[in-house]
Amino acid sequence: MNSPVTATLPKHDIADASLAAEGRKKIEWAERNMPVLAQIRERFEKSQPFTGVRIAACMHVTTETANLMRVLKAGGAEIALCASNPLSTQDDTAAALVHEYGISVYARNSVDRDGYYSHINASLDIKPHLVFDDGCDLVNTLHTTRKELIDGIIGGCEETTTGVIRLSQMTKDGALKFPMIAVNDTDTKHMFDNRFGTGQSTLDAIFRSTNSLVAGKTFVVAGFGYCGKGVAERAKGMGAEVIVTEIDPTKALDALMQGFRVMPMTKAAAIGDIFITVTGNRDVLRDEHFKQMKDGSILANSGHFDIEIDVAWLEKNAKSKNSKMRHQTDEFVMADGRRILLIAEGRLANLGAAEGHPASVMDMSFSDQALTAEWLLKSGKGLSAGLHNVPVSIDKDVARLKLESMGSALDVLTPAQELYLNSWEHGS
């Protein structure tokens, strides 16, 4: 799709240029499992919808994201990509994007807070027309320290539940100054990416970090949205007894009727073996829970930000800390000798301790992103500032293309059926 870069390199800040060749291999491997995005790329290469358009993206710098960036570039876009999480960057992917595909990247794995925001600001220096965000940090920066750029922005896309929550509040407060599209809320995103992707990749993080057997364990899932459902379903399928904690009565009832135990975290803390937070809220696991947990309890967060587990309390109150006992696993030893294991520093575990979602599921989410960005260029100037939904037609097109790529096809209504569905005169 893109030839290796031999001319002047784009602006960048990456960890190790020597990893570029390895990164290219992994990006091309992911591409094999992203057939819908490949079809969109072929069209973009011909139509060039992003010619003259600058895009700033704050996303997880993974092989799947790399393929989205390549598609946008193939459509004519100038891109500046930064990381949306300090632990999610794949350094080989970042190197390949710069040195093999000529895309500006500002991302290093394990960057500190100052470096993280420095990279966000560097990506904004291109004065973007469109923004892609994963958690709303880039949009937040635009509305706080980079307000001078707002007038030039047509709109943007947000890919996460956490980001949509933040944008919803900004819209409610009248603070959001340009249209943002909630890609996270498409059916192809929350029904498949959030559920199947998060479910599989979170379990993957547990395996890579601890090599724990899930079967026979008590698995506690905090939050029963689409991500929580995915985690709970995968854990149950592997033989765990699953407990769900929820604050929403409808979601709690849904979990109960799917065969999961439902109880407050204050009760679950004493009997759980593995704890996963997927709520988008802070302090879901905190002091009163840590004090009850069994020796060897495993904690991981699959929400976007590192606020769901009160890591600061563990750091302050543990008798000792054994850093990196295993891959991305820290051990906190309590005063009574109990050991609590924390994966990926309480950050996004499925990307901090594993590779994130499989490419085949990200194929749908990133296809939604690409098509929504194209639509924004045509319709964004007519949209009011605030949070908007992706047009249903885009989501349906992506689902149809994915279905076809998997060797399946839809049924077709007969003329009589069409008439029946579109008429009120016909009853029984």
Domain end (from 326, 352, 378):
352
Q: Which pLDDT score, from 0 to 100, does residue 305 have?
A: 86
How many domains would you assign to the chain? 2
Q: What is the DSSP string of 83-97?
A: ESSTTT--HHHHHHH
Q: Give the pLDDT band of residue 193 (cuts 50, 70, 90).
A: confident
Task: State yes or no: pLDDT of 5 exceeds 80.
Answer: no
**Percentage of residues in the chain with pLDDT exceeding 70?**
98
Q: Which pLDDT score, from 0 to 100, does residue 6 have?
A: 46
Closest CA to 159 of 390, 405, 396, 399: 390
Looking at the domain assignment, is residue 99 inside a domain?
A: yes
Distance of CA 280 to the CA centre of its chain: 12
Determine the 3-state secondary structure of 180 from DSSP: strand
Token pair 């459902």 is at which residue? Answer: 229
Q: What six digits make up the tokens of 398?
A: 């992506």
Q: Which pLDDT score, from 0 to 100, does residue 428 have?
A: 65
Q: Which amino acid makes up residue 281?
A: N
Looking at the domain assignment, is residue 139 inside a domain?
A: yes
Looking at the domain assignment, is residue 422 inside a domain?
A: no
Angle between helices 91-99 and 63-74 (to 10 degrees): 20
Looking at the domain assignment, is residue 417 inside a domain?
A: no
Q: What is the mean pLDDT of residues 265-276?
A: 98
185 shares a domain with 53: yes
Angle between helices 20-31 and 63-74 (to 10 degrees): 80
207 shares a domain with 347: yes
232 shares a domain with 338: yes
Looking at the domain assignment, is residue 425 inside a domain?
A: no
Q: Are strands 104-106 and 130-133 parallel, antiparallel or unpaired?
A: unpaired
Judge if pTM exceeds 0.75.
yes
Q: What angle do CA 239, 224, 168 make, to 5 degrees?
A: 150
Looking at the domain assignment, is residue 416 inside a domain?
A: no
Q: Residue 7 CB: number of other CB atoms within 10 A?
A: 6
CB within 8 A of 191, min separation 6: which ones? 226
Task: State yes or no: pLDDT of 12 exceeds 60.
Answer: yes
84 shares a domain with 43: yes
Give the tens place of pLDDT for each residue, 35-88: 999 999 999 999 999 999 999 999 999 999 999 999 999 999 999 999 999 889
Q: What six digits make up the tokens of 408?
A: 């399946």
Q: Which pLDDT score, from 0 to 100, does residue 1 have?
A: 44
Residue 212 to residues 69, 133, 215, 267, Cα–Cα distance (Å): 36, 34, 9, 23
Query: What's the CATH number where 150 sits?
Result: 3.40.50.1480
Give the tens place of pLDDT for each residue, 306-351: 999 999 999 999 999 999 999 999 999 999 999 999 999 999 999 8
Lowest mean per-residue pLDDT among 2-16, 136-150, 262-276: 2-16
Write out the residue range of the structural domain in which residue 371 sits: 12-189+357-405
Contact between 274 and 217 under an 8 Å Cβ cutoff? The reply is yes
Give phi and psi for 129, each to the nearest 5.
-95, -35
Q: What is the mean pLDDT of residues 269-274?
A: 98
Q: Which pLDDT score, from 0 to 100, does residue 37 have?
A: 97
144 shares a domain with 26: yes
Q: What is the mean pLDDT of residues 202-231?
A: 96
154 shares a domain with 20: yes
164 shares a domain with 250: no
Looking at the domain assignment, is residue 88 inside a domain?
A: yes
Virtual torsion, Cα 416, 417, 422, 428, nearest 10 deg: 90
Question: Is residue 386 left, alpha or beta, with left meaning phi > 0 and alpha meaning psi from -120 to 50?
Answer: left
Domain end (from 307, 337, 352):
352
Virtual torsion, Cα 376, 381, 386, 390, nearest 10 deg: -30
